[in-house]
Structure 1
Amino acid sequence: MTYYINLVKMLFNMDDHLFRIQKAEKLKNVWKISALLLLFSVLIYAWSAYLGIGTDIISGNATDWGASEYERSKLWFVVGRMLFAIVFTILLLFIPSLIYYAITGIPYQKLIIMQQLVILAMLVERIVWIPLMLWWGLDWYVSPLSFGIIASYFTDASWLIYFFGAISLFQLGIIWFQVKYLSSLSAVKKNWIWVSVIFLHIVYWIVVSGLAFVDVYLISGWFE
């Protein structure tokens, strides 16, 4: 049986697609879909950088720079965000798939499909966040879709706000989807799958909050 990957259709008829993926002996469009997601990721991050999201530090130095130097800095910022999108997408596509392969024994390419849908959900989340930032000035970690805004009422510790800001409704949906996907294709006990998925997401949230915490220093150091 050959399975042709269609992430959009999978969203609306998940059980049927999970059954077909489980029975599939051959997968089509794995690398084509991966390449398209990589392209979309680069375009979305470039678009948000072009709109000026995250360029506060550069704008703060605008009065000390000439017009050409300021525009050059903005260009390098956009390029940097595009490179970040490439690295981020590749890591998110292949590293969790490798870890889940070691845990469940599910064929690696079938795990790539799972991560493709994860990346799609995260890109949609970023697109949803962009107008929140442009119109209301809400950073991702205080988005109404995340728990960061709640954490900000209880603590001033930026690292904790970033951590809870990384936990969003989209992330909770991704956890549910991954557990459903892995348990449908694997004989591993569902409780163990829940523990594994949640643990890996906690690690991811810690990494995201750590990167957010040092990001301002990295950017300021680069564009001083």
Structure 2
Amino acid sequence: MMFRVQLLKGLLHPHDTFDQLERAEAAKGLWPRVALLFGLSIIIALLSGFFGINTETVSKQLSITNGNLFEWQKALFAFGNGLSGVAISFLVLFVVPLFYWSLLEVDFLKLLIMQLFVFTIYLIENILLILLGVLYGIDRSASPFGLGVAAQYIMDHQLALRFFGSISIFQLWAIYLQYQFLKRASDRKPSYIMLMIIGVSIILWVFGALFSSIRIEQLF
């Protein structure tokens, strides 16, 4: 059976899509979709840097540096965002499936296809966060989609707020999709699969919080 990779269909009809993927013997359109999402991730990351999303630490230096240095700092930030787009794409699309493959003995390419749907969700969230940042000056830690706003009422630690801000309805959506496929494709107990997915998600949230908390101005 040939499985045709259709990102939108996978998000809107995950049960039918994953049933077909589980039975599939080959996939059509996989690598073009991988290249597409890689490219979109880099573009979105560059746009985030271009619009100054999460550049508060750089903006604070405006009053103490000349215009050329400030623009250079912003350009470096955007470049760093672009590199992060590459790193995150590789991590989500290849490292995570490799980890699942090593523990669950599920076909790697099927895990990669599953992660294409997951990564599409991540990109949708990042696009919305850019819009919130440009229109309302809201960053990830204060996003209405995540737990960052609620966490602000009980703590004031920036790293913790960024971590809880990463736990959003989009991340829960991604966890749900992974669980729905892996419980079909693996003989492992559903509780084991869920704990594994949550563990991987926590690692990604910590990674994202640490990266977004880098104080850019200390590099200069």
Q: Provide TM-score, normalisation by structure 2.
A: 0.93
In the alignment, the residues of structure 1 paired with residue 5 and residue 37 of structure 2 have an alpha-carbon distance, to the nearest angstrom, of 13
Tell me what 1:195 maps to: 195
Tell me what 2:180 maps to: 180
Tell me what 2:112 maps to: 112
Tell me what 2:70 maps to: 70
The size of the alignment, in residue pairs, is 220
In the alignment, the residues of structure 2 paired with residue 206 and residue 61 of structure 1 have an alpha-carbon distance, to the nearest angstrom, of 27
Tell me what 1:221 maps to: 218
- Say whether the 8 Å CA contact 2:14–2:177 is kept in structure 1: no
In the alignment, the residues of structure 1 paired with residue 118 and residue 64 of structure 2 have an alpha-carbon distance, to the nearest angstrom, of 42
Q: How does 1:81-100 map to 2 (within 5 A)?
A: 81-100=81-100
Tell me what 1:167 maps to: 167
Q: Higher mean Cα deviation, 176-185 or 67-76?
A: 67-76
- Say whether the 8 Å CA contact 2:178–2:197 is kept in structure 1: yes
Which residue identity is paired with 1:93?
L
Q: Secondary structure at the match of 1:92?
A: helix
Q: Secondary structure at the match of 2:159?
A: helix
Deviation of 1:126 after TM superposition, in Å, equals 0.9
Which residue identity is paired with 2:26?
K
Which residue identity is paired with 2:127?
I
Tell me what 1:28 maps to: 28
- Say whether the 8 Å CA contact 2:4–2:29 is kept in structure 1: yes
Q: Classify 1:74/1:158 alpha carbon distance in 2 versus 1 (closer, same or farther; 3 Å).
A: closer
Unaligned runs of 5+ in 1: none
Which residue identity is paired with 1:164?
F
Deviation of 1:208 after TM superposition, in Å, equals 2.4
Q: Higher mean Cα deviation, 170-179 or 62-71?
A: 62-71
CA RMSD in angstroms comes to: 1.6
In the alignment, the residues of structure 1 paired with residue 75 and residue 90 of structure 2 have an alpha-carbon distance, to the nearest angstrom, of 23
Tell me what 1:43 maps to: 43
Note if 1:79 corresponds to 2:79. Answer: yes
In the alignment, the residues of structure 1 paired with residue 56 and residue 212 of structure 2 have an alpha-carbon distance, to the nearest angstrom, of 14
Deviation of 1:64 after TM superposition, in Å, equals 4.1
Q: Classify 1:93/1:149 alpha carbon distance in 2 versus 1 (closer, same or farther; 3 Å).
A: same
Q: Secondary structure at the match of 1:3?
A: strand
Q: Classify 1:104/1:127 alpha carbon distance in 2 versus 1 (closer, same or farther; 3 Å).
A: same
Q: Secondary structure at the match of 2:57?
A: helix
Deviation of 1:68 after TM superposition, in Å, equals 3.5
Q: Provide TM-score, normalisation by structure 1.
A: 0.91
- Say whether the 8 Å CA contact 2:53–2:139 is kept in structure 1: no
Q: Classify 1:74/1:121 alpha carbon distance in 2 versus 1 (closer, same or farther; 3 Å).
A: same
